[in-house]
Structure 1
Amino acid sequence: MLVGVAPVPGDGDAPASRLYTAKALEAGVLPAGQTPFAVTKKGLTLAWVTLSDKGSQGLRADAAGPAIAETCAASLPLALAQGHLIPDEPAELRALLLDLAVTQGFDCIVTTGGTGLSPRDTTPEATLGVIEKRLPGFETAMLMASLSKTPHAMLSRATAGTVGRAIVINVPGSPKAVRETLAAVMAAIPHGLDKLRGDPSDCGQG
């Protein structure tokens, strides 16, 4: 079972590659010498990023990040879910989003936190600095879902878009808001990813 993926820098003329980490589901013995493996992926890969100064310092438990994983796993066929907890630093978030999307090749990246009006709330700006195609439909659907719960949702500045072949989505910082906003866009994620990968089928069909 695939449990992780990390970039491996190139050496001289050798290009960069990916290191995959797997977990054995059953006990077994491998033959001596080198054993060739082929990496196959059944399902989608999810990376979630929690933006929290206190959380990154160990001063606050992260409940929103795991809520992303649980919500997505309930609706999407996930092959891998990986979490990150970083401070509200836009440069760090931009670098991480690019690494997760372009180098590590995650399908869906969801950030939580930093979407409001506080001085340290810079997640949307950092995200807009790297996304290539904005997804206003996602943003509208999430906003409408939140507004049905509280008028304060109009203060959220969450954005969504694509980076390479990944969909990147900002959601608010509370577990409750995570579940409400992701529920509004979950059904569109697989079709959106198919289109990013060049699916030629007509969106109006079916």
Structure 2
Amino acid sequence: MLHCILSAASAGDVLPLTPDTLRKVGMPHHRMAAGPLPALPVGAGLFTDDGKEWLRVTGRVWLSGDPHAVPCPMLTALADIPVGEARLHVRKEGRSLAWITLSDKGSQGLRADGSGPAIAAAVGEALPLCHAQGFLLPDDAPALRALLTELALGQGYDVICTSGGTGVGPRDITPQTVAPLLDLELPGFAAAMMVESLKKTPHAAISRAVCGVLGPSIVITLPGSRKAVLENLAAVLPALPHALDKLHGDPADCGG
């Protein structure tokens, strides 16, 4: 349970939750009444005693402290929040999904992102999602490396999908950027996607897609086209819920 001092907020407002020691941050914020900030993964909800979800963790921000900056969860209000003290229960109902679309033209506003929304729709049919967020980057290895690390290790997303950059073009940097970050690979996921894709086109053999685990997250690298995204996801989505359960410590037998 969290003992918080809440600022007034309207539904949809996004404010940081700060520790009690960080009272002056130059913006409206909620803060802990006492003690350090707990680890709150993206998608976690803050509920009242009667079961109403007032706030949900939807990101993270670093705020300047004295002398060190502090990582603070960003809370989105799901209802109108009154100012005052509140004791809120924390629980996560569902899975969190991030997708990263890699596209030089898309990042410049020259091309609409068709693959990202397709990822959200397809994964949402396979998993109950408590939060989904898309990100758009150019084909830039340092930017992808930084964002992927933040989403997995900083914010605790359950599933992170990338779209684009899995081929052999001069700007295709996704597999060689993602692979060194992984704690362990999931070669069966990559193999299943390859088998399914080869049923559609021999060009699938060019793909260098990698899949694996980074912290609490399952990372899946996908092609750039909407059609190929859906074909590849169809191959691994049936195994994804069980894979997440096992990754997060489910002790049940796998063969049941």
Q: TM-score, normalised by structure 1?
A: 0.90
Instruction: Please say if 1:22 is aligned against 2:77.
Output: yes
Aligned partner of 1:5 in structure 2 is 59
1:25-104 matched pairs, under 5 angstroms: 30=82, 32-104=83-155
Q: Is the 8 A contact 2:193 2:236 kept in 1?
A: yes
RMSD between aligned residues: 1.9
Q: Is the 8 A contact 1:7 1:103 kept in 2?
A: no
Q: Percent same amino acid at aligned positions?
A: 53
Aligned partner of 1:196 in structure 2 is 247
Q: Is the 8 A contact 1:8 1:16 kept in 2?
A: yes
CA distance in 2, matches of 1:61, 1:4: 24
- 1:157 counterpart SS class: coil
Instruction: Please say if 1:138 is aligned against 2:138.
Output: no
Q: Aligned in 2, Cα 1:29/1:170: closer, same or farther, shift over 3 Å?
A: closer
Write the deviation string for residues 166-194 of structure 1: whole angstroms up to 9, x where unpaired: 00000100101111100110111121112
- 2:254 counterpart SS class: coil
CA distance in 2, matches of 1:29, 1:177: 43
CA distance in 1, matches of 2:69, 2:107: 35
Q: Is the 8 A contact 1:171 1:181 kept in 2?
A: yes
Q: Aligned in 2, Cα 1:3/1:67: closer, same or farther, shift over 3 Å?
A: farther
Q: Aligned in 2, Cα 1:34/1:129: closer, same or farther, shift over 3 Å?
A: same
Aligned partner of 1:166 in structure 2 is 217
Q: CA deviation at 1:16?
A: 3.3
Structure richer in helix, relative to its length: 1
Q: CA deviation at 1:17?
A: 3.8
Structure richer in strand, relative to its length: 2
Q: Aligned in 2, Cα 1:29/1:127: closer, same or farther, shift over 3 Å?
A: closer
| Paired residue type of 1:137 | G
The count of corresponding residues between Structure 1 and Structure 2 is: 201
Deviates more, 1:130-139 or 1:183-192: 183-192
Q: CA deviation at 1:10?
A: 7.5
Q: CA deviation at 1:108?
A: 0.2
- 1:120 counterpart SS class: coil
Q: Is the 8 A contact 1:50 1:112 kept in 2?
A: yes
CA distance in 1, matches of 2:104, 2:170: 12
Q: Give unmatched runs, 5+ long, in structure 1.
A: none
Q: CA deviation at 1:44?
A: 0.3
Which structure has the larger Rg over C-alpha atoms?
A: 2
Q: Give unmatched runs, 5+ long, in structure 2.
A: 1-52
| Paired residue type of 2:222 | V
